[in-house]
Structure formats: structure tokens, C-alpha cells
């Protein structure tokens, strides 16, 4: 039996409409993990950007006032949550794609590795600049330089994050 072309066209169009997400436990966990990841990236990256462009030119002391420990705590929280949500995202994305029959290529894992290493660099710089040890004092003597390196790494991380996403949009 031949269906009229208007019906086949309509069916084809319906098939192209993106499916509604299935709202279950794993879906909610994925969305929450993504929100946490982006929020913490904003806190850490935004904080470093503000320090680099606005505060650091007036000297290391201008960066923190008497609230260095408050920023140090946020650096710790953001670092922990970025690591936790990032690893969760990685494992669920890799598993999900494999289960759907299209395992992610090597280049995806290589880009992820570079992103991960750059993130470790950012965590280290953010933590040492906010630290209270004598090593931290030495790093703060070159605040502008370290912030420049950290911010460059943040930009590279965000670009790689966007590229990774194109593998499974």
C-alpha cells in the first residue's frame, strides 16, 4: 500500500523532531552534574579573571584585602566539585556513547586528558595564590604572571570543553 506523499512527509518530519528527554534518575544526575560543573567553572574562572584584570595591577594585597581565607575556601570547594562533576560527566558520557553503539574516538580522550591536566594547573595556581604558606608568598610576588598563565589555561579549558561536546551533541 502506498501512503500519500503528504503523509510520508509528515511522518519524516515527526521522525526528525528531537525526542523528549526521558526524565529518570540518571537524567537528573547528569543535569545536576552539568549545572555544578558550569557554576564552579564560573566561580573559579571568573574569580581569576577579575583578579587578573581589575585587582592584581594594584598589587597582590589588593586582590584579597583581609578576606584571603574566604577566597581560599571557595577555591577548595570549586576545585573539589569541578573534579567530582568532571569525572562523573566523563564516565557517564563515555559509557552512554558506548552503550548507544558509537564509542568515542581516541581524539576525544586525548582532548579530555589535555583539559584535565590544564585544570590541575589552574587548581594549583588558584590554590597557591590564595594560600598562607611562605611558598604562597613567593607566588604572590609574581601574582600578575601566574594569573595570566591561569587565565590562559581557563580559556583553553573552556574551548576544549566546547569541542568535547561536539562529539556527542
Q: How far is the CB of 13 from ligand HEM (least distance, A)?
A: 28
Which sign does the torsion angle of CA 15, 18, 20, 26 carry? positive
What distance lies between CA 49 and its chain's CA centroid? 15
User: CA-to-CA distance for 109 and 114, rounded, in angstroms?
Assistant: 9
Residues that contact ligand HEM, how many (by CB under 6 A)? 25
Interacting positions 3-62 with ligand HEM (CB under 6 A): 34, 37-38, 41, 44-45
Interacting positions 91-130 with ligand HEM (CB under 6 A): 93, 115-116, 119, 122
Widest CA span in the chain: 83
Give burial (CB, 10 Å; 0-12/13-18/19+) of 141. Answer: exposed
Q: Is residue 87 part of the contact set for ligand HEM (CB under 6 A)? A: yes
Q: Whose Cβ is closer to ligand HEM: residue 95's or residue 165's?
A: 165
Q: Please give the residue ranges that form the binding site for ligand HEM (CB under 6 A).
A: 34, 37-38, 41, 44-45, 82-83, 86-87, 89-90, 93, 115-116, 119, 122, 154, 157-158, 161, 164-165, 167-168
Amino acid at each position: 500500500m502506498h501512503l500519500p506523499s503528504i503523509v510520508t512527509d509528515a511522518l519524516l518530519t515527526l521522525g526528525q523532531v528531537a525526542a523528549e528527554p526521558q526524565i529518570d534518575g540518571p537524567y537528573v544526575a547528569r543535569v545536576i552534574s552539568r549545572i555544578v560543573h558550569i557554576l564552579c567553572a564560573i566561580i573559579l574562572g571568573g574569580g581569576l579573571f577579575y583578579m587578573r584584570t581589575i585587582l592584581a595591577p594594584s598589587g597582590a594585597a589588593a586582590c584579597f584585602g583581609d578576606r584571603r581565607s574566604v577566597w581560599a575556601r571557595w577555591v577548595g570547594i570549586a576545585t573539589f566539585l569541578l573534579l567530582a562533576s568532571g569525572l562523573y560527566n566523563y564516565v557517564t558520557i563515555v559509557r552512554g556513547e558506548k552503550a548507544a553503539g558509537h564509542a568515542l574516538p581516541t581524539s576525544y580522550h586525548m582532548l579530555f586528558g589535555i583539559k584535565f591536566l590544564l585544570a590541575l594547573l589552574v587548581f594549583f595556581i588558584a590554590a597557591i595564590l590564595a594560600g598562607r604558606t611562605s611558598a604562597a608568598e613567593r607566588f604572590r610576588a609574581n601574582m600578575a604572571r601566574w594569573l595570566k598563565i591561569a587565565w590562559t589555561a581557563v580559556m583553553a579549558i573552556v574551548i576544549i570543553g566546547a569541542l568535547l561536546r561536539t562529539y556527542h551533541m
